[in-house]
Amino acid sequence: MIQKCLFPAAGYGTRFLPATKALPKEMLPILTKPLIHYGVEEALEAKMDTMAFITGRGKRALEDYFDISYELEHQIEGSSKESLLDEIRELMEKCTFTYARQNKMLGLGDAILKGKPLVGDEPFGVILADDLCLNEDGFGVMKQMARVYEKYRCPIIAVMEVPKDEVSKYGIIEGDVINSDLISISNMIEKPQPNEVSSNLAIIGRYILTPDIFDIIENTKPGKNGEVQITDALLTQSKNSMVLAYKFKGLRFDCGSIDGYVEATNYMYKKKFENV
């Protein structure tokens, strides 16, 4: 069973400035819960109970969110508002939270490498909380992936089809079809131009990685945008052993963009208040 889930959360969230000047983008709420809360719930559903955060400057709100706020709790104790804290209290009881900082923005690969002391020598999940994934009809995406991992015991990357003219926003994978959900990866490119790839299968912010990835990242040179890319490290790994792409079931909202964030908010609002 995979116990730990890494949450790279050091990025600036510039698309949401000025809001993200003093607020981590992972703390932006969809209705009443911040994005990070949904990510932790998803990991917990997959039986991962140790949440390892990679934070950076200006991200202390994340640590405070998963801690007791004595003044607030004292104020609302015994009142009708107290139940509003039930969900976060439940998460806090069930999980352990650990933290490491990335002090230079050197890319997602580097952020994941900063998690090495928190993760140790075990397979682990990775959730990018600004990709909000929901599956009303069944298991959440991380749990779906944990099940695939149990069977294949190799790194698993969540993918979905995107319009061809949007491939340059994502890491794109190519490979051999194993079945309707799984592809054995033979190539992956971070944010390619449409003419550089034959596929439109985009990486979404959910990974199950094995600990040998840390050494590979250490030897991965900066790639796209001068950053150390997890996509490049996984490509190296896929040359020596199997790396699988998994077409997950469910919806994904790109909450790192204003459009996706508003879509997610509308979707959740309808679900909660209009029973759609």
Q: Name the residue whose CB lies closest to ligand G1P.
A: 171
Piece in contact with ligand G1P (CB under 6 A), picked from 21-29, 201-209, 210-218, 259-267 = 201-209
Q: How far is the CB of 276 from ligand G1P (least distance, A)?
A: 26
Three-state secondary structure of 8-40: ECCCCCHHHCCHHHCCCHHHCEECCEEHHHHHH
Nearer to ligand G1P, 85 or 251 (CB): 251
Report how far apart the first and last C-alpha atoms of the chain are (Å, whole number).
Answer: 35
CB half-sphere exposure, 180, CA atoms < 13 A: 1
128 lies in the binding site for ligand G1P (CB under 6 A): yes
Nearer to ligand G1P, 148 or 233 (CB): 233
CA distances from residue 51 to 78, 186, 208, 240 in whole angstroms, order as listed: 30, 31, 14, 29
Q: How far is the CB of 108 from ligand G1P (least distance, A)?
A: 5
State yes or no: cis peptide before 18, omega within 30 of 0.
yes
Residue found by looking up tokens 């909380």 in the block = 129
Spatial distance between the Cα atoms of 13 and 25, rounded to a whole number of angstroms: 5
Cβ neighbours for 229, distance < 8 A, ≥ 6 positions apart: 107, 108, 109, 171, 190, 220, 222, 223
Spatial distance between the Cα atoms of 232 and 121, rounded to a whole number of angstroms: 21
228-257: contacts with ligand G1P (CB under 6 A): 229, 231, 256
Piece in contact with ligand G1P (CB under 6 A), picked from 39-47, 197-205, 215-223, 265-273 = 197-205
10 lies in the binding site for ligand G1P (CB under 6 A): no
Give the length of the chain: 276
Spatial distance between the Cα atoms of 262 and 105, rounded to a whole number of angstroms: 27
24-83: contacts with ligand G1P (CB under 6 A): none
Nearer to ligand G1P, 13 or 95 (CB): 13
212-231: contacts with ligand G1P (CB under 6 A): 229, 231
Q: List the structure tokens of 265.
A: 């908010």
Figure out which of the listed residues 148, 204, 245, 268 binds ligand G1P, where binding follows CB under 6 A: 204
CA 179 to chain centre: 25
Q: How far is the CB of 218 from ligand G1P (least distance, A)?
A: 18
Nearer to ligand G1P, 95 or 157 (CB): 157
Spatial distance between the Cα atoms of 274 and 36, rounded to a whole number of angstroms: 24
Q: How far is the CB of 252 from ligand G1P (least distance, A)?
A: 9
CB half-sphere exposure, 94, CA atoms < 13 A: 18
142 lies in the binding site for ligand G1P (CB under 6 A): no
Supply φ then ψ for residue 71, to 5 degrees: -65, -50
Binding to ligand G1P by CB under 6 A, coded x per residue (else -) over 84-123, reads: ------------------------x---------------
Figure out which of the listed residues 171, 182, 209, 246 binds ligand G1P, where binding follows CB under 6 A: 171
202 lies in the binding site for ligand G1P (CB under 6 A): yes
User: Which residues of this chain interact with ligand G1P, rule CB under 6 A?
Assistant: 108, 128, 131, 170-171, 190, 202-205, 229, 231, 256
